[in-house]
Every structure is written in structure tokens, then in C-alpha cells.
Amino acid sequence: MKVSTARKIGSFCAGALVVGLLLSGGVRAQQKRPAERLRLVHALEMTGETVDGRRIYRLVGQVVFRQGEMELRCDRATQYVDENRVVLEGNVVIRQPGKVLRADRIEYFDRLREEWAEGHVVAEDSARTLRCDRLHYQENIDYGVAEGHVELEHREKHVRLQAARVRYDRANGLAVGEGKPVIVQEDSTGRQVFRLSGERVAWYEDARRFEALGNVEIVDESGSHARCDSLVYYRSTGVAYLRGKPHTWRRWERMFGHEMEWFFAGDTLREVRVRGKAFVLTEADTLRPGFRQNRVKGDSLVIFFSRGEASQIVVRGRATSLYYLFEEGKPKGVNWILGDEIRMWVSGNKLTRVRIVGDPERAEGKYYPERLVAMAPVGDFEPEEREFLRPEGKP
């Protein structure tokens, strides 16, 4: 059975008349329903019909619904009264205190407080903006799943998460990206500070902590790269933990180990700690990469940075160092050092001072003049080190 009715509704009487029609029972029916049910406030035109006992209303022109503090606006809507849902289309805007949702089309379930939005979806609050192609959002738990060219931006912290799919727990400040996910950190001027990617990336505590897992890669504004199996970065303390044989490329410098810790002062790297077969290689002759390479190895090492460049290197545990010497740009041989601990001071990528710490009997050092450089105990690389040592200094 199908019954149709049609009405022209003016703005001066939309509230009282339309609400009465939609509730199909006037004041008496309205009193039986919860106070927070969806209600129609305004529309220019309405067509109602009953299909198989189900009430359906089609509304056109400046359509406005309300549910508690939530307001829903669109160009046209279809309300399925008995199913407690409404399909909003055309310039759809849903507003409530502190946030707003826009889309081309939204299917809203008023009892469940769920929204299925699609087409140019934009969700905003005072600090964050979410853009995507499709969004399923559950208002009661403040949780959503966004899909298709997703970008979640935290404007106050200058952070963006981009992915094919993002699970967003707004209430707890958690966002998890999958499908070529990337987190981009910028400074206050919009300059990119670093870019973090992996098979899965996430931010926690409203972008106070980042995590990445699987084929993780970090690229900073200077073009330096780092790769590892997993990363955790605490922005509040400025510490990043890299696990799973991390390796880095910094222009003419490469670094390898089983674990790394990076320490930042603001956006500036100030210290790197490497554990487990720690290894650093720098190009001594940048005009001929791969020809002369300074090498530092040990069980662990610490590199201190000043203005973005290494200023001191401390190697501990079976520490060895091979460093080429230059004078006014001309090669002057190489120093080879073995000890329990080696401290080296560097300036302008050049070694300025060396100190060997530990048992003197186990410390050894030798200078090879230029004519005998070929006799220096260069040694060989382990297979896991060799994989990452490319002359051009790029991954």
C-alpha cells in the first residue's frame, strides 16, 4: 500500500506544522518519544508517503533538523521515520558545540547517533581538521573511520597525517593511518621539519607521541634519511627510539646499529646514541665519494651535534677508528686507533682531536703516512653493514 501527501511549507510555520506531520500523532505522540529525538525545524517543500507501512518524507529547500544541541542543514533530505534515519544531500552541514561536519551526502541514524558521510567530507573542531572521501562517525563514542585520500591536520601542533584509511579516536587523541600513511611535521612558518612513513603510522595523546611500524622511513628538512623496523617519537621530551637495525644517511655520513635513540632540542638534533654493532662512516674526500672513508666502530657510540653537524663522537666497547688526515686540502695519511673507548672531536667534518680511554695495554694507535696508506688495517664490512654503504650517500 502506498499513500502520498504533499505540502508547501513556509518558513513562518515550518516548526509547528512539519513537526506535527512527521510525528503523525501531534502532541500526544511527541510526548511519548525521548526528548533527544531528531525533529524537523524547517523545509520549503515536503512530500510524504507510506510504503508497506513505513513512513517516508522527502524535503526540499533550506532543510533544517535538530537533535538536542546538534543542528543538521542541507538542500534536500529523505527521512525514514520508522527506521530512525535521514539521508541528507546537497551542501550538508551538521553543527554541534565545538565541531562541524560537512559533506555532499550524509546518512544519519538518530537513535545510534551515527553518520555515514561521503563526498568532499570535512570535519573540524577548534584544533583539528579531517578531510576525506568517506567517513563513518559514531557521535556517542567520538570515533570515526575515514577512507579515500584522508588528511587529518592538527593545526595547533602543525602536524598532518595522510593515508588511504584513518581510524580516528577523537575522544582519546588517537589516529591510526594505513595505506601508504605519512605523518608530516611542520614549523610555525609551514616549513617541513620531517616526514615519517611506514606500513602503519599513528599519533597518540593528540599528536604528542608518534609511532610507525614496518618499513619505517624518516626524512628531515635537510634531506637526511633514516630507515628502521619501528619508531616511537615522544614530542614532549624530544626523544625518538628507532628499533630493528636502523640506518641513516646524512649527506656524507652513514650510520648503522641495532638500536638508536635521537634527542632533539626543539626541532634541532643534538645527540644520537647507537647500540649494538654501532658503526659510522663519513666521506673524507667529498670530491671522490667512496675513495677515502672514515670509519668508527664499537659496541655503542654517541654522537653530539652542534648546529646540525657532528662535534664529538664517543665510541665504547671494542672501539676502532680509521680517520684520514688532510692539510690544506692535501691528503696526509691516516690514523688507526683501537681501544676500550675512543673520544673524537670534529669540526667542519675534520678530526681535530682524539683521546683513547681505558686500559693502556689494550689501547693501540698508529699513523700511516700518505705513501703507506694502503697498509692501514682498513678491514672489511659485515654483510649487514655493506648493504647500506653506498658512495653517493643516498639510500
> What's 334's domain CATH number?
2.60.450
Question: In this predicted structure, what is the pLDDT of residue 52?
Answer: 82
Q: Judge whether 356 lies within some domain.
A: yes
Higher pLDDT, 74 or 349: 74
pLDDT band at 200 (very low <50, low <70, confident <90, very high): very high
Q: Judge whether 329 lies within some domain.
A: yes
Q: Judge whether 7 lies within some domain.
A: no
Structural domains of the chain, count: 1
Higher pLDDT, 58 or 367: 58
How many C-beta atoms surround the C-beta of residue 299 within 10 A? 16
Give the Cα separation of 249 and 395 in Å (integer). Answer: 7
Q: What is the pLDDT of residues 350-371, one digit of tens each?
A: 778 888 876 655 677 787 887 7
Taking the chain, what is the end-to-end CA distance rounded to the nearest angstrom?
70
**Which residues fall within 8 angstroms of residue 178, CB to CB, at 6 or more apart?**
163, 164, 165, 166, 167, 199, 200
Whether pLDDT at 253 is above 70: yes
Higher pLDDT, 268 or 39: 39
Q: What is the 3-state secondary structure (H, E, C) of the chain?
A: CEEEEEEECCCCCHHHHHHHHHHCCHHHHHHHCCCCCCEEEECCEEEEEEECCEEEEEEEEEEEEEECCEEEEEEEEEEEHHHCEEEEEEEEEEEECCEEEEEEEEEEECCCCEEEEEEEEEEEECCEEEEEEEEEEECCCCEEEEEEEEEEEECCCCEEEEEEEEEEEHHHCEEEEECCCEEEEECCCCCEEEEEECCEEEEECCCCEEEEEEEEEEEECCCCEEEEEEEEEECCCCEEEEECCCEEEECCEEEECCEEEEEEECCEEEEEEEEEEEEEEEECCCCCCCCCEEEEEEEEEEEEEECCEEEEEEEEEEEEEEEEEEECCEEEEEEEEEEEEEEEEEECCEEEEEEEECCHHHCEEEEECHHHHHHCCCCCCCHHHHCCCCCCCCC
Give the Cα separation of 125 and 102 in Å (integer). Answer: 12
pTM attached to this predicted model:
0.77
The top-scoring range by mean pLDDT among 3-12, 69-78, 304-313 is 69-78
Domain of 257 in residue numbering reads as 245-395
The top-scoring range by mean pLDDT among 25-39, 235-249, 375-389 is 235-249
Give the Cα separation of 21 and 15 in Å (integer). Answer: 10
Question: In this predicted structure, what is the pLDDT of residue 360?
Answer: 58
Higher pLDDT, 4 or 253: 253
Question: In this predicted structure, what is the pLDDT of residue 76?
Answer: 96
Give the Cα separation of 356 and 371 in Å (integer). Answer: 26
Q: Give ∠ CA 388-390-394 in degrees, rounded to 5.
A: 90
Question: In this predicted structure, what is the pLDDT of residue 294?
Answer: 82
Contact assessment for residue 47 and residue 58, using Cβ atoms and an 8 Å cutoff: yes
pLDDT band at 255 (very low <50, low <70, confident <90, very high): confident
Q: Judge whether 267 lies within some domain.
A: yes
Question: In this predicted structure, what is the pLDDT of residue 118?
Answer: 97
Q: What is the pLDDT of residues 139-167, one digit of tens each?
A: 989 999 999 999 999 998 899 999 999 99
Q: Judge whether 319 lies within some domain.
A: yes
- Mean pLDDT of the residues in the chain: 82
For 156, counting Cβ atoms within 10 Å of its Cβ (0-12 exposed, 13-18 middle, 19+ buried), the class is: exposed
Question: In this predicted structure, what is the pLDDT of residue 377?
Answer: 74
Tell me what the mean pLDDT of segment 54-58 comes to: 92
Question: In this predicted structure, what is the pLDDT of residue 135?
Answer: 97
Q: What is the pLDDT of residues 326-339, one digit of tens each?
A: 777 788 888 888 88
Question: In this predicted structure, what is the pLDDT of residue 19?
Answer: 32
Question: In this predicted structure, what is the pLDDT of residue 381?
Answer: 52
Q: What is the pLDDT of residues 279-313, one digit of tens each?
A: 888 777 766 666 777 888 889 999 898 877 788 98
| 118's grid cell | 561521503
Q: What is the pLDDT of residues 94-113, one digit of tens each?
A: 999 999 999 999 999 999 99
For the CA atoms of 61, 64, 65, 71, what is the dihedral angle to 10 degrees? 140
Question: In this predicted structure, what is the pLDDT of residue 310?
Answer: 82
Q: Judge whether 14 lies within some domain.
A: no
Whether pLDDT at 16 is above 50: no
Q: Judge whether 393 lies within some domain.
A: yes
Tell me what the mean pLDDT of segment 380-393 comes to: 51
Q: What is the pLDDT of residues 19-38, one digit of tens each?
A: 333 333 333 333 344 458 89
